[in-house]
Structures are given as structure tokens and as C-alpha cells.
Amino acid sequence: VSRSEAVRRLGGPVRSLQGYDADHLEVGAASAVPGAQAGLDVIRVVYRAANGGRILLDQQLIPTDSSGFRPIDDPTLESGETAYGTSPSGVSVATWLDEEGYRMSLVAQLPLDSIKKLVPLVR
């Protein structure tokens, strides 16, 4: 999709990985992304990694409820911490809820230390 379409579907600015050029943007259903907030589209920014793989930056802007709270289905993110993990196949994931209410997920076939260095570059 175009960036303007992604902004419209997201409901706010699209976050990017600073210093990296996006290959393309995609829109998908929350059901296709593990842990995503049900009922909201996921905007995926796809980057090409130096190792020939892809770096995926998935994002959703969680809307506020009538009390101004941003309800999220993932209790691990409510603390404001970033959750990290690595699958047996070597895919590393960082997931967090940023201060603006975006549920972010950065995924790549990289060592976990590399993912941890990329997280602060997301803006």
C-alpha cells in the first residue's frame, strides 16, 4: 500500500526504522500477526536486511476508550517494558507499546542483541 493509505488505515503516522529504507508497506488483519490487537489492521513496514532476509516492523495504533485509557489485550505490554524473544528457527522479536499508544513489533532473523539495538531506532 502507499504511505498515505497506511496512515489512513492506521489512524496516525507510520513509524519507521530510522536509517533504513523501507522496501514496501503492507496492511493485514490482526489475526495474521501473533499477539496483535483484534479488530485493528496491522501496518507492516518491510525492510531488506544485509543478510538477505527481511526486517518487519508491525504496528497498530490502539484507540483510547471513553476514559482515555488504551485497552490492550496483552498484559505483558501494560508495564511499558519491551518483551523480547527468539524462536528455535532464529527469528527474534521485540514487542512494545510506545508512549503514543502504538503496539509495535520488530521481527527479523537476527540475533536478539541485534534486535535490541534496532528498537531505539523506531520512530
What sign for the dihedral angle of Cα 31, 27, 8, 81? positive
- The model's pTM is 0.93
pLDDT in tens, 110-123: 999 999 999 999 99
Q: What is the pLDDT of residues 49-58, one digit of tens each?
A: 988 999 999 9
Q: How many CA atoms lie within 13 A of 42 on its CB side?
A: 21
Dihedrals phi, psi of 118, to nearest 5 degrees: -80, -30
Helices (H), 1-122: 3-10, 112-118
Q: Give bridge partners of residue 26 from the DSSP assignment.
A: 44
Cα R_g (the chain), whole angstroms = 14
The reported pLDDT for the residue numbered 35 is 86
What would the pLDDT profile of 16-49 be if each residue is shown by its tens digit?
A: 999 999 999 999 999 999 889 999 999 999 999 9
